[in-house]
Amino acid sequence: MNYKAGKYDIAVIGAGHAGIEAALASARLGCRTVVFTINMDAVGNCPCNPSIGGTAKGHLVREIDALGGEMGKTADKCFLQSRMLNRGKGPAVHSLRAQIDRRKYSDVMKHKLETQENLELHQAEITDIKRTDDCYTLTTRMMAEYEVKAVIIATGTYLGGRIFVGEVSYESGPDGIFAASFLGQSLKNLGLPLRRFKTGTPARVLKSSIDFSELEEQHGDEPPIPFSYDTDDLGENKVICHISWTNEKTKEIILKNIHRSPLYGGKIEGVGPRYCPSLEDKIVRFGEKKRHQLFIEPCGENTEEMYLQGMSSSLPEEVQVKFYHTIKGLENCVIMRPAYAIEYDCVDPTEMNATLEFKKFNGLYGAGQFNGSSGYEEAAAQGLIAGINAALKIKGKEPLVLDRSTSYIGTLIDDLVTKGANEPYRMMTSRSEYRLVLRQDNADVRLTPIGRKIGLISDSRWERFNRKQELKAEELKRISKVVVPPSEKINEILVSRETTPLSTGAKLIELLRRPQIDYKALAPIDETRPNLDSNIFEQVEIEVKYAGYIEKQLKQVEQMQKLEKKRLPEDFDYRELKGLRLEAQEKLNKIRPLNIGQASRISGVSPADINVLLIWLSQRK
């Protein structure tokens, strides 16, 4: 017999990276929120790499933090090693990545949910969602019925999860936790078209069975840089990682057993990501490469499990043992958890608006892998936006849609809901056309005012943010005024950096404009320099040095925003516009872009079609 378990504003299905951000945002915005997790010990689980951030993903974490999300703060608390990737390639592609203690991460996040006002966390599998007039009824495996105004689905790889290791295959979520086997059918009955995606993870091996003696070490940056604008000091890096390589022998074993891979044997129907190929994928697709790199990363401070980044596989366990043993340092490694591939149900994100609400289902939202993305950070970003929008809707407020020029979060969501995902979507810096503006150093400038307006930024943080902006403005003023006279000291610095010495005085700002010169170089002669947060110097320097390029991008942003302001009607049948090509009519009816800008990004809508839309729009006025 079902029983009534209560009424809530918002239910979040899943307490992974998407669910956590969604639930916290919704509760913090004053909505009574209930969160369901299949396993209470799997809240904020990291079933793949024990790290947060990375290229473009680091940007996402900073942005989540700037908006008032949790991921960055928790990652800082659990950090083991931190590195700023891509130093030297330019500020647009600087990305922060931290190795983290995955158990601790899970504990910290769970505790945050437990202590959050307005939020209840339950261990329960949701087996059914029913829509009534103005609400949804969720039923748990234990037959509890929850009545809610909005639902956020964040089921990750649990929904219809199936694991593949060689010939072995069984229903399961990650890390031995059972899958959500009933909800999929319920969603199909509701009318959501589901499809199968796949991903995979490498083996975890016992630290003491690895011979590190001849492996290259990888150390963290000193001092390590935190993700959160709220974290002052991380302390010291706690671990080192190691690098090794596969070889001809590894390749030979894999090719000999390739027929035993469920991917090549045709057992997996799900579409896997191109950027996260299994080792067998890499070897088959890039046959000319003699070796592939791998990173050996600790899973935590109080565990001997080591993650083998780059070595994902779905070959039989027996074959895994053989090929891992061909790798230098791993000759005698003991596999604690084998590598596996996992297939799961997800939805076509073009069914959603940029608010992450389903177009056809008022109050139903999706986030994370369920939406066809991949990665903890991508999931958290969507969770945050879905949580914010569900709450704003319940409060009767305007929704939050971040456009592409504001953030990687906006770019991610726009890509998903406009272009769809033919494979699990991973964020990359090359996906943003506004890279020089959307940097990891200035996420706060871009998004904290928005977070404040929504209500996720506390008074103290807001004051701190404003103070920082003042200090930044003062510093900019200072370097525009201070003149450095020519001297032996400064010219020595300039010459050592291979740039022209001074013959007359130059302002600090002029020196900083030189590509070869940074704050650090000028320290010995910059006597009036105040003691400021390093992020202020970072932002000032980049804005000065890249001013011309940034301005160029801002002009492009302006152009884009003009098109974004031309709104398209919500209910028009594009088949009536005979001037559009057939494909464009179909795509426009399916995606239902909000404006001309979004329409122009739909593949299959040509510039000629856009002209037709523009003419038609101006005629309607």
The reply on whether position 280 binds another protein by CB under 8 A is: no
Smallest separation (angstroms) from another protein to the CB of 577: 7
Nearest to another protein of 449, 604 (CB atom): 604
C-alpha to C-alpha distance for 309 and 240, rounded to whole angstroms: 14
Q: Which DSSP string corresponds to 232-272?
A: ---------EEEEE--HHHHHHHHHTGGGSTTTTT---SBP
What single DSSP character describes residue 175? G
Other CB atoms within 10 A of residue 292 CB? 18
Retrieve residue 553's tokens. 């991008």
Indicate whether 85 belongs to the interface with another protein (CB under 8 A): yes
Smallest distance from the beta carbon of 12 to another protein, in angstroms? 27
37 binds another protein (CB under 8 A): no
Phi, psi of 201 (to 5 degrees): -145, 150
- Among 348, 402, 366, smallest CA distance to 64 is for 402
* 182, 212, 462, 616: residue in contact with another protein (rule CB under 8 A): 616
Q: Which C-beta is closer to another protein: that of 18 or that of 279? A: 279
**Shortest approach of another protein to residue 245 CB, angstroms?**
8
CA dist 217 and 241 (Å) reads 6
CA 93 – CA 220 distance, rounded (Å): 18
Residue closer to another protein by CB (options 68, 224) is 224
Q: Which of residues 456-515 bind another protein (CB under 8 A)?
A: 515
Q: Does residue 281 bind another protein (CB under 8 A)? A: yes
For residue 436, the minimal CB distance to another protein (Å) is 6
Tell me whether residue 307 or residue 370 sits nearer to another protein (CB atom).
307
Nearer to another protein, 84 or 194 (CB): 84
Helices (H) and strands (E) in the chain, counts: 20, 22
Binding segment for another protein (CB under 8 A), chosen from 204-212, 263-271, 323-331, 599-607, is 599-607
Per-position b or e across 24-44, b if 16+ CB within 10 A of its CB: bbbbbbebbbbbbbbbeebbb
- How many whole angstroms separate alpha carbon 562 and alpha carbon 558? 6
CA distance 174 to 156: 10
Whether 204 and 330 have beta carbons less than 8 Å apart is answered as no
Tokens 């920082």, located at residue:
468
Among 291, 562, 567, 575, indicate the residue that binds another protein (CB under 8 A).
291
Encoded one letter per residue, x for contact with another protein by CB under 8 A and - for no contact, window 546-565 reads: x--x--xx------------
Number of shown-chain residues binding another protein (CB under 8 A): 61
Q: Which is nearer to another protein, 146 or 295 (CB)?
A: 295
Residues in contact with another protein, shown as a per-residue x/- string from 148 to 167 under the rule CB under 8 A: --------------------
Considering only residues 564-593, where is the footprint of another protein by CB under 8 A?
576-581
Q: Do residues 320 and 254 make contact, with C-beta atoms less than 8 angstroms apart?
A: no
Give the C-alpha separation, 8 to 388, whole Å: 16
430 binds another protein (CB under 8 A): yes
**Near another protein by CB under 8 A: residue from 7, 249, 274, 555:** 274
Q: Which residues pair with 197 in a beta bridge?
A: 271, 344
Using an 8 Å Cβ cutoff, are 20 and 113 in contact? yes
Site of interaction with another protein (CB under 8 A): 48-49, 55-56, 85-86, 88-93, 274-277, 281-282, 285-286, 289, 291-293, 295, 309-310, 312, 419, 428-433, 435-436, 515-516, 546, 549, 552-553, 576-581, 601, 603, 606-609, 611-612, 615-616, 618-619
